[in-house]
Amino acid sequence: MSGYREVLRHGRGRHRRRRRTSLKAAVTVGALVAGSAFAVTAMDDPPQNCDPQPRAKAGGSARRDAGRVDPCPARAVGPAGKAGDRDGPDGTPRGEGGTGHRTPAPPEPEGVYDRERCGNTSGRILLSLDDWPYSDPDRAVRIGAQLQAKGVRAAFFLINRYASQYPQIVSTLRQQGHWVGNHTYSHRNLPGLSEDEVQDEISRGVHGNLLRPPYGDAGEREREIAADLGYRICNWTIDTHDWEKVEGAMRSADSIRTIVREATTGEKQNGVVLGHLFSNFPEALNGVIDDLHAQGYQLCRNTGPVGEQVPYPLQC
């Protein structure tokens, strides 16, 4: 088991002294339990086929399945977003955020890794950029250079289906002082995949030790698989919704800037901002940085080149 397993949960129930049971009562209970077990075995339903099934397509088949009890709950698909809105018209993934796109993470016990903040305890804010600049791959390193010039370190979570075709981009970003994390190989929703498929998506992603699951969607199974492969999950506290279209057009840089500026203190302190490489988020970066500085916040400092491994706690 990897050393990056995120959470160690300990039971907090009170321990009560048990009454001793007489021998006669114990024998009687044992006989009743044995008889009940035989009856249950004899009347049990035939075993269900729980092999991984293809995910239902949005539309008629999904509606027909609504309300049906899945006999294999471990296979249940993650939270449904907007029907048919996971990917863009050209087949490229849409953004992570948005109402209904992911299940809120369960509260973590005190003193353990906080995946919403990526282990950030510095008081500073980490900017992060996801996916890929589909029409202009070099946009990533231009953004990296822009942030480097401002003394800001960011985290780039790249889809390796594209990044693997441009290995110089990953190496350049790290040379510029930015962390580069795993956003899986092809941006598939992990809870809807079989265990082998989840392992494949993560292991074929950008090498490192931080994983941002597509749509921020990862349950306990996905967290354990990621930990076994050496990854900590890294989500966000501020979603810019930069991937959304507003009145038919991609959300503007001014709107993105407003969303970050109006986020709460709790979201900003030790926070992580989510943006995308294909949106107007890069155009909003200068204004976002200026606004945060004006509000008294600092961003993760760029102290020079980095390697594959991201330290924990984050060195911001």
Does the pLDDT at position 67 exceed 50? no
Q: Is the pLDDT of residue 255 over 70?
A: yes
Listed in sequence order, the DSSP H helices in the chain are: 23-43, 60-65, 139-149, 160-163, 167-175, 195-203, 220-228, 253-261, 265-268, 281-294
- Find the mean pLDDT for residues 156-176: 98
**Ramachandran angles phi, psi of 196, nearest 5°:** -65, -40
pLDDT of residue 42: 33
What is the phi/psi pair of residue 215, to 5°? Answer: 65, 10
Q: Going by C-beta distance under 8 Å and a sequence separation of 6 or more, which residues neighbour residue 142?
A: none
Q: Which two tokens stand for residue 212?
A: 């941002």
pLDDT of 104 > 70? The answer is: no
Q: Residue 315's pLDDT is what?
A: 85
120 confidence band (pLDDT: 50, 70, 90): very high
Is a pLDDT exceeding 50 seen at residue 37? no
State the average pLDDT over residues 47-59: 36
What rounded mean pLDDT belongs to the chain?
Answer: 77
Band of pLDDT at residue 279, cut at 50, 70 and 90: very high
The full set of domains in the chain, from first to last, is: 126-294 (3.20.20.370)
**Given this model, what pLDDT does residue 207 score?**
97
pLDDT digit string, tens, across residues 185-204:
999 999 999 999 999 999 99
The pLDDT of residue 92 is above 70: no
Asked whether the beta carbons of 98 and 212 are under 8 A apart, the reply is no
pTM of the model: 0.69
CB of 44 closer than 8 Å to CB of 145: no
Confidence of residue 90 (pLDDT cuts 50, 70, 90): very low
Q: What pLDDT is attached to residue 93?
A: 52
More confident residue, 19 or 259: 259
Express as a percent the part of the chain with pLDDT over 70.
65
